[in-house]
Structure 1
Amino acid sequence: MRVAAIDCGTNSVRLLVAEAGDEGRLVDLDRRLILTRLGQGVDATGRFHPDALARTLDAFAEYADVIAQLGVDRVRLVATSAARDASNRDEFFAGARERLGVEAAIISGDEEARLSFTGALTALPDVAAPVLVIDIGGGSTELIVGSGGAAPHIDHGLSLDIGSVRVRERFLAGDPPTTEQVNAASAYIDSLLDGSGVDFDSIATWIGVGGTATSLSALNQRLPAYDRTKVHGSSMSRVELHALTHDLLTSTVEQVKALPSMHPKRADVICAGALIAARIGARMPVDLTISESDILDGIALGLLHG
């Protein structure tokens, strides 16, 4: 059986077409990403901007063609933070239904955390527990603590209203942001992390998934172009993460765009995503490991085994 998983987030729309492999693993047939910035202005207005909605629905139409060409049996479209917050989300639902022929599911932060954890631990099963998986999205950040192995288990998971787009739009207006703006953003991030209930000191393995984490890894490695095989399983020390965050926060958007592996449509918000990662890193006793497997893989596994 072939399945298609679509993750519609605040900043990107991603597709994974896969089938079952050995030992419960996935075999990728197609994996792609389009940065549509669906969450443009949602934090301030509570509504999808017409241009952002149009970009996202165009991405759905492109993915529908891929799904048809590959003969997919089951499709699931999940929408996360931005869609949870938008008052005009009925337009989003109708557009998704028309282009993909499926109902979009706006999942809770708890389900988003579970899917991200399952996807990450399937690709990195033999890691020491407790494991903290973080997924820094455009509108929210998921923190999930649990253990790996054949059947990943979650002990504690939550979704915080801090993401690269949300923090950039709310706090980091400067280009580059001012010291005062960075301090205000840091204080807000810290307040949510302090109240998260996560025992950061106890964590034995720290895994980052999603576009922020993978982009930071590529930048840290100074890759001439993004290379998924070099990003997956890579590590970044907390010292490296702190230094990279400082560099991004003190650079203009145009300077960040010029970095070899940087996607130009992520360049304006990567500094905010890095700041979230760095504030988590300041609490961690271990360095960061990057997984290319994430919520998409969790959705696909659910379709294959559900």
Structure 2
Amino acid sequence: MTELVGAIDCGTNSIKLLIGTPPDIVLRDSRVVRLGQGVDTTGELAAEALARTFSAIDEFAGVLREHGVPPERTRFCATSATRDARNAAVFVEGVRTRLGVTPQVLSGPEEAALVYAGAIGALSPMPPEPVLVVDIGGGSTELVLGEDGPQESTSMDIGSVRLHERHLHSDPPTVEQVTECVADIVRHLDGSGLEVELARTVIGTSGTIKTIACGVLDLPAYDRDAFDGAELSIADTLDYCDRLVAMTVAERRALPYMHPGRADVVAAGALIWTGILARASVPTYRVSEADILHGIAASISSSTGS
């Protein structure tokens, strides 16, 4: 019997756990912890953000023990907020104490490669290439363009939490704030060196994109089975994102598929997704439930020979 592995992805807004034997998934769970609270301004992980994150890690440690997943078959990856924080060592030691695992702080290219591996590994048959895989996180956004594997990638320092804190201070955001946020996104996309329009297939993953997909599909709840693999119209998505950005936080929180911890920052994420999709040369994109967690899990299986 193949042994279970545990993959943990700790980003700027959420921490996620996957247990399974890829491609079979036994359990998937997540917590919105906002680890990156204020990092864009202070350069440090806030004490209350660390406390929230450590509490979630304590829960995940118990789940891993219940499923018999030892530290040597667990990989903990941290991304944008931890890359940027001066006090990241406090976080690293806290994780090591709780899990017996030293977290790997991924570089932008490492994060992009795992995002691509996770999304592409779940596809059969392979869609038209080149394929662009997009992951919009809380602190950064990864774009990976590939044909027979990843060929170009970029990790931009724009994410839903970072841009919300930087630009969207009103509820709902003002026209001026949205304009400034969009200009920031355009600057990063222009400077990324990656040509979105070359993609013949666009695949969106990450919580922001999946939540937006629920809205485009008008789902009565957050339903992975309903959006996984869905092919959605870019025009319909741009229209939905315009409406989402114009809502108040209370209105977004009332949407049946919206996680309450995402309601305030999802407008910034929607603006990033809009900026990327507006450059695409295809009329539709696909949504993938498989994401960086699947890439992390697959890497554990490969390294342990499972």
Query: Which residue does 2:16 correspond to in 1?
Result: 14
The residue type paired with residue 186 of structure 1 is: V
| Partner SS state of residue 236, structure 1 | strand
Correspondence for 1:75: 74
* Match of residue 163, structure 1, among 145, 155, 159: 159
Unaligned runs of 5+ in 2: none
Amino acid at match of 1:182: V
Provide, for residues 256-279 of structure 1, a one-character-per-residue CA deviation record: whole Å limited to 9, x for no partner: 000111011100011110100001
Identify the residue that residue 93 of structure 1 maps to in structure 2.
92
1:112-167 per-position Cα deviation (integer Å, ceiling 9, x unaligned): 000000000011241110000000000000000002xxxx5111011000100001
Matched-pair contact (CA < 8 Å) for 1:222–1:260: no
Summarize deviations over 1:160-180 as a string: whole Å, max 9, x none. Answer: 001000010001111111111
Structure 1 stretches of at least 4 aligned residues deviating more than 2 Å after TM superposition:
none
Report how far residue 91 of structure 1 moved.
1.3
Q: Which residue of 2 aligns with 1:304?
A: 301
Asked whether the 8 Å contact 1:217–1:235 carries over to 2, the reply is no
Q: Secondary structure of 2:276's partner?
A: helix
Query: Could you tell me which residue of structure 1 aligns to residue 246 of structure 2?
Result: 250
Name stretches of at least 5 consecutive residues in structure 1 with no aligned partner: 21-25
% same residue: 47
Letter in 1 for 2:196: F
User: Distance between the aligned counterparts of 2:74 and 2:134, measured in 1?
Assistant: 25
Does the 8 Å contact 2:154/2:194 carry over to 1?
Answer: no
User: What SS does structure 2 have at the residue aligned with 1:212?
Assistant: helix
Which deviations, in whole Å up to 9, do the C-alpha atoms of 1:28-77 show, x marking residues without a partner? 01111100000011101111111111000011100000100101140010
- Partners of 1:210 and 1:3 lie apart in 2 by 21
TM-score normalised by length of structure 2: 0.95
C-alpha distance in 2, partners of 1:236/1:273?
Answer: 17
CA distance in 1, matches of 2:179, 2:36: 24
Report 1:278-297 matches (<5 A): 278-286=274-282, 287-297=284-294
Counterpart of 1:241 in structure 2 is 237
1:82·1:139 contact (CA, 8 Å) conserved in 2? yes
Does 2:180 match 1:181? no
| 1:37–1:52 CA contact under 8 A, matched in 2 | yes
The number of aligned residues is 297
Q: TM-score, normalised by structure 1?
A: 0.95
